[in-house]
Structure 1
């Protein structure tokens, strides 16, 4: 058999390079690619190309750091596991809270992205787009409540759909790129590049998922590094191609088109491009929402088990049972988020920026843990990745108050809970100490 299905260290069959790279693509590629080119173009114009390029370049040390951490300390706990090893349970709790807080913001943003595509295809207005997005959220909550959450195979399928869609879009649109579309290059000044980078981080928050898969690789060290490198190469080609054709073909309207991929496909194939683009957007959006809700609900229940969150609020993990109380908590958070969206106070752009700020904070904790845990060249790579993430967080501006507030509450709650003698540290930290 090929390397894609070799036996693991204990004789079990583990992930190989091919399957692992596809799983990573499923984590990094998502519905953000459907709308983010517009948000970036609105922030920086053609200069958003620099934001794409900088994030892709900076993604190399970030991805390499998580691959090194996963290969050296393979565990399904991800960033929280590394934070517990490098620092303490309070930092791990803060990272977990940041990710959990990003879930209702991120899934609401994803739902709106899918809604915009359906509305654009049908010629409907923003109210219809919001309704479709909320409908996708409601359907995903219902499925998760009965245990029919998205599996890894569905994630792989949706990643394959998005890769195909992006390849076709870029290929058929390259011939229509016009040089004059890139002038003026920086209509909003060079600071717009930094603003665009904070928006685009939504599309690059996913490399930490490699650490969650690390324990499933047949060869965590070599296999995870190769899978990450392959996924990074594919992401680089697809995102750069997408940004070039979006700006080069749509020109000044690129920053105002809610469904750029749909527009590009319609220009190339006429109305025949509407159905596949819309169907792909719905599948990708629903798959991403389902996966995030399934993971977020289980994280919330795990935090309740470890008393990092109040058990009355999120319950606790129990074998064979769905974390419905944690899911209900996330549903309540989504209702809180959608209220200002329905009132016109919070936009899709604001949701994406807030989610990016939280996920950037999570990723920074992971790379700082790499500085503490790794050695030699790998430590230097982690330091470079950390410096980049600090820059991203600086450009988040006032939105830094969000991870700051969530982190303070998490640390204060962790300190209060740690006074009880029966309060365990995170399960991943406990397992490490037992070894």
Structure 2
């Protein structure tokens, strides 16, 4: 099997984190905090460094398709691992519809058609990413590399073209919804920074995980932080109060900066960004499913990446039919991701050696715990998913208990190598 290069891993990381956040989050954050949303942006960018480094350090030391669930298993045992694995694995199909809805809004802005156009965009994005990952990381990694390069250039062009139209007066009033709005904006922005955990499931796919995972992650942190901050600041300074009501802020920025029929271009950018994000998550999820099945946290028939990918694809089709608004689904998913971060960084504190890595993990743990509280009631969904994992583990243990005296414990040895079956391509 072809292994990921540093460039491909960097591109997958950037795509997973940047993704739909850059096309949607500036408006959503401004709606709840106004210009003060920039404080939340800066806080999340600063937080992403220790968070990403914690997962990179764990991935370099313990490369495995289980990703965060493997780290939690090594630190706290199989039940906590199953809870984390479920939160991440089942958040992927639930998050696909709102992720594609943001891109669908840009497409509908050009073509019309409203909800029907959004559904068609969802089917096109998920279908194309499904096919790419069906044929393995060799294809999806190369596609992601080209996508990321083109999109970084397009975002820079957008910022450079729009900045001459910035007005400092748009920073006033700075906190129209009060300072508490910054916390609300931070809870929304977790969606834009989710993704560092997705690539941990691909750590074993690098040519040299101990060397390449930290390199790819470090480059991605710098690129993502710079692009996010540039787009957020430009959006606030150029669009002003109208940013909160903009369904397509990138299109508005390009229209102001360049003029002409730019909405078609931004719709294409939005779709490509979403393809990048969904590609990274489906790639990670396709590896996570077999790892969870290997560890007894999912049924044993999910023992290959293609079977896992098929389950995620089917779940995405079910999720798009649920009567949930985009914001409601977004908050449910970010609650799951935040709980994954809390337990993943706690595992990093326990597993990583004393020094900078452990300090970074401790910082990330405290910050993500605060974010879980800020998420509010939607965070209860993540606890319900975690409880479902514990119930599954308990029932499985009872079923296996009659043969435990001869077969031994159902929990795998945490030091064993992954036994994920790869299909012959």
Stretch of structure 1 that moved more, 23-32 or 384-393 = 23-32
Question: Distance in 1 between the 2:222 and 2:285 partners?
Answer: 28
Is the counterpart of residue 409 in structure 1 residue 388 in structure 2? yes
Give 1:156 shift.
Answer: 2.0
Stretch of structure 1 that moved more, 102-111 or 154-163 = 154-163
| Aligned partner of 2:37 among 48, 66, 71 | 48
Matched-pair contact (CA < 8 Å) for 2:250–2:266: yes
Question: Distance in 2 between the 1:193 and 1:428 partners?
Answer: 41
Change (3 A) 1:384 1:407: same
Aligned to 1:343: none
1:216-295 → structure 2 map (5 Å cutoff): 216-217=205-206, 219-295=208-284
Query: What's the TM-score, normalizing by structure 1?
Result: 0.85
Aligned to 2:363: 384
Aligned to 1:90: 79
Stretch of structure 1 that moved more, 283-292 or 347-356 = 283-292
Question: Distance in 1 between the 2:129 and 2:16 partners?
Answer: 20
Give 1:48 shift.
Answer: 0.6
Matched-pair contact (CA < 8 Å) for 2:94–2:315: no
Q: Secondary structure at the residue paired with 1:271?
A: coil
Change (3 A) 1:424 1:316: farther
Stretch of structure 1 that moved more, 128-137 or 239-248 = 128-137
Stretch of structure 1 that moved more, 157-166 or 191-200 = 157-166
Aligned to 2:338: 360
Aligned to 1:322: 306
Question: Distance in 1 between the 2:194 and 2:134 partners?
Answer: 28
Question: Distance in 1 between the 2:134 and 2:51 partners?
Answer: 36
Question: Distance in 2 between the 1:348 and 1:397 partners?
Answer: 17
Matched-pair contact (CA < 8 Å) for 2:93–2:316: yes
Matched-pair contact (CA < 8 Å) for 1:177–1:249: yes
Aligned to 1:296: 285
Give 1:41 shift.
Answer: 0.9
State the Cα deviation string for residues 310-346 of structure 1 (Å, max 9, x = none): 45xxx3224xx8317x625652464245331xxxxx3
Is the counterpart of residue 339 in structure 1 residue 322 in structure 2? yes
Question: Distance in 1 between the 2:81 and 2:129 partners?
Answer: 27
Give 1:144 shift.
Answer: 7.2
Give 1:119 shift.
Answer: 1.1
Report the RMSD for the aligned CA atoms in angstroms: 2.9
Matched-pair contact (CA < 8 Å) for 2:66–2:292: no
| Aligned partner of 2:196 among 184, 195, 207 | 207
Give 1:226 shift.
Answer: 3.4
| Aligned partner of 2:373 among 394, 406, 409 | 394
Question: Distance in 2 between the 1:66 and 1:383 partners?
Answer: 12
Question: Distance in 2 between the 1:333 and 1:19 partners?
Answer: 25
Matched-pair contact (CA < 8 Å) for 2:23–2:249: yes
Change (3 A) 1:233 1:143: closer
Question: Distance in 1 between the 2:353 and 2:327 partners?
Answer: 39
Aligned to 1:7: none
State the Cα deviation string for residues 321-379 of structure 1 (Å, max 9, x = none): 8317x625652464245331xxxxx3222222211111111122211111111122222
Aligned to 2:119: 131
Give 1:86 shift.
Answer: 0.7
Stretch of structure 1 that moved more, 210-219 or 370-379 = 210-219
Aligned to 1:194: 183
State the Cα deviation string for residues 35-79 of structure 1 (Å, max 9, x = none): 111111112111110010000111111112122222232333311
Q: Secondary structure at the residue paired with 1:375?
A: coil
State the Cα deviation string for residues 152-189 of structure 1 (Å, max 9, x = none): 11222222232122111111111111111111111111
Matched-pair contact (CA < 8 Å) for 1:42–1:255: yes
Give 1:415 shift.
Answer: 2.1
Question: Distance in 1 between the 2:15 and 2:410 partners?
Answer: 33
